[in-house]
């Protein structure tokens, strides 16, 4: 198995390879690594319909898993080492309400609800893959830095399987209570660093190297192999048709990178005939990709690009002590670790990048809530970005668009209640302080005395 799957540097000039048994988070040249396959020596399915046979075998954990039922498209682990907790039972659903909000045809918007994963976010797709790799190589402890969802996911895999101990690094005061409560409840060793996500990321890399702890952040190429399955399930939900657009929030840029890789491989294997376009949406308060891509013209250029503007931008950020700051705490990231892979995905998928304001995020979130299963603020960036792209005429009214809703609505109740509250002080504290001026779609609770007549009157008045 190992010789058919291997690790390879993303830089075409370097192209160094490593065995899958090696634990690395970077090439010796410093670039990111991919998991690559010698497809000529692997049994590749003839069509994507091949995967339908697994639907009737849901009693087998690997067929039930929405990640591992596609494992022929990322065959790096022997079946007996694969760890699954039932991830990937997620839903692609049409949302006429969101379509109306963004101004496109009724059936044109589909929402991919990754919040339905066991830990409530898309992270379980990648965690299942990284955790399986960690298990393959015999790791006993696994670590991550997180804005909250990766840590919740890692903590859950450790709690359920008891295969490893979780060590998580979070920025102090930087993660929502929903996510923090998960890590604590699942029993993870939780290190709160006086700093933000980027500080935690730097430290966890150092610590995991020093103590030999397995790192599960998305610099780990095996994580992204699992996240490819989100796209396989989107295709499955469309009966193997390719949508016109995939719209995804961008934080550390693991998803966008994984999605691009998934489609590049599917084209290469002859399993799809055309690429979808990709839109990656930053929060304006954490807009590194937008700055670099739209303002400084940074491109992948077949891997030969001049990446100097990236270093310049980071130096400027440091010089002015500018740090990411957004209501969408999940994507409050300064230096996205997968930037280069994301640039590659944008090139392959004729991509676009946009930034959305805090106001746009909270309004879009309210519209997802009233028109579907709900999501957390970072996820709503995808819908807010779609609205912008429709207004600009880049996405047409009749194009089929899939927005990835990355995290569950209950991850961040503070923002949701802050939006719908009647308490001006609470609104100002949670949202007003971040530049949100109004809650146009607020559904305010009606306060009544504990009196039957008053309650009946209120219901008759408002319903």
Contacting residues toward ligand F0G, per CB under 6 A: 121, 123, 146-150, 249-255, 330-331, 376, 378-379, 406-407
Q: Which of 343, 340, 351, 250 is nearest to 9 (CA)?
A: 340
CA 127/CA 114 separation, integer angstroms:
13
Q: Which is nearer to ligand F0G, 10 or 64 (CB)?
A: 10
Q: How far is the CB of 47 from ligand F0G (least distance, A)?
A: 29
Q: Which is nearer to ligand F0G, 253 or 272 (CB)?
A: 253
Q: How far is the CB of 222 from ligand F0G (least distance, A)?
A: 15
Q: Rounding to the nearest 10 degrees, give the CA dihedral for residues 176, 181, 183, 187.
A: 160
Q: Which of 352, 363, 353, 288 is nearest to 325 (CA)?
A: 288
Q: How far is the CB of 402 from ligand F0G (least distance, A)?
A: 15
Q: How far is the CB of 232 from ligand F0G (least distance, A)?
A: 17
Q: Which is nearer to ligand F0G, 136 or 283 (CB)?
A: 283
Q: Which is nearer to ligand F0G, 146 or 359 (CB)?
A: 146
Q: Which of 261, 283, 263 is nearest to 274 (CA)?
A: 263
Tokens for 429, please give them.
């504290």
Q: How far is the CB of 294 from ligand F0G (least distance, A)?
A: 17
Q: Which is nearer to ligand F0G, 7 or 182 (CB)?
A: 182
- Tell me how crowded residue 21 is: count the other CB atoms within 10 A of its CB: 12
Q: Which is nearer to ligand F0G, 6 or 169 (CB)?
A: 169
Q: Which is nearer to ligand F0G, 250 or 369 (CB)?
A: 250
Q: Which is nearer to ligand F0G, 136 or 331 (CB)?
A: 331
Q: How far is the CB of 76 from ligand F0G (least distance, A)?
A: 20
Q: How far is the CB of 206 from ligand F0G (least distance, A)?
A: 17
CA 253/CA 31 separation, integer angstroms:
15
Q: Which is nearer to ligand F0G, 27 or 155 (CB)?
A: 155
Q: How far is the CB of 406 from ligand F0G (least distance, A)?
A: 3
Q: How far is the CB of 423 from ligand F0G (least distance, A)?
A: 26
């Amino acid at each position: 198995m190992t010789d058919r799957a291997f690790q390879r540097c993303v830089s075409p000039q370097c192209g160094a390879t490593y065995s899958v048994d090696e634990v690395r988070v970077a090439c010796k040249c410093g670039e990111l690594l991919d998991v690559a396959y010698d497809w000529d020596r692997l049994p590749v399915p003839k069509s994507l319909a091949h995967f339908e046979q697994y639907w009737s075998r849901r009693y087998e954990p690997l067929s039930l898993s929405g990640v591992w039922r596609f494992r022929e498209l990322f065959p790096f682990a022997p079946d007996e080492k694969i760890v699954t907790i039932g991830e990937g039972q997620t839903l692609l659903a049409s949302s006429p309400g969101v379509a109306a909000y963004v101004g496109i045809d009724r059936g044109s918007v589909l929402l991919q609800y990754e919040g339905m994963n066991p830990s409530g976010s898309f992270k379980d797709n990648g965690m299942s893959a990284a955790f399986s790799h960690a298990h393959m190589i015999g790791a006993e402890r696994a670590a991550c830095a997180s804005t909250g969802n990766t840590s919740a996911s890692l903590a859950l895999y450790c709690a359920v399987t008891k295969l490893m101990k979780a060590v998580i690094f979070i920025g102090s005061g930087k993660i929502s209570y929903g996510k923090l409560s998960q890590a604590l409840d699942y029993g993870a060793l939780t290190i709160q660093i006086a700093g933000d996500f980027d500080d935690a990321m730097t430290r966890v890399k150092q610590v995991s190297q020093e103590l030999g702890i397995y790192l599960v952040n998305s610099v780990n190429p095996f994580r992204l192999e699992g996240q490819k399955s989100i796209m396989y399930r989107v295709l499955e939900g469309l009966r193997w048709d390719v949508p016109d657009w995939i719209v995804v929030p961008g934080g550390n840029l693991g998803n966008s990178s994984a999605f691009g890789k998934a489609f590049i491989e599917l084209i290469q294997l002859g399993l799809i005939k055309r690429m979808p376009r990709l839109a990656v949406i930053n929060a304006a308060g954490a807009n590194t990709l937008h700055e670099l891509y739209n303002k400084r013209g940074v491109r992948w250029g077949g891997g030969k690009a001049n990446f100097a503007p990236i270093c310049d931008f980071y130096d400027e950020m440091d010089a002015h002590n500018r740090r990411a700051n957004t209501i969408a705490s999940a994507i409050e990231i300064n230096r996205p670790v997968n930037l280069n892979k994301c640039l590659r995905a944008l090139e392959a998928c004729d991509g676009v990048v946009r930034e959305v304001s805090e106001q746009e995020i909270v309004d879009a979130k309210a519209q997802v809530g009233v028109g579907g299963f709900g999501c957390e603020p970072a996820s709503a960036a995808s819908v807010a970005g779609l609205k912008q792209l429709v207004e600009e005429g880049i996405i047409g009214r009749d194009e089929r668009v899939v927005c990835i809703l990355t995290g569950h609505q209950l991850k961040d109740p503070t923002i949701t209640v802050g939006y719908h509250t009647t308490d001006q002080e609470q609104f100002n504290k949670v949202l007003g302080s971040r530049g949100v001026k109004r809650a146009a779609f607020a559904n305010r609770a009606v306060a009544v005395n504990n009196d039957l007549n008053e309650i009946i009157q209120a219901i008759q008045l408002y319903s």
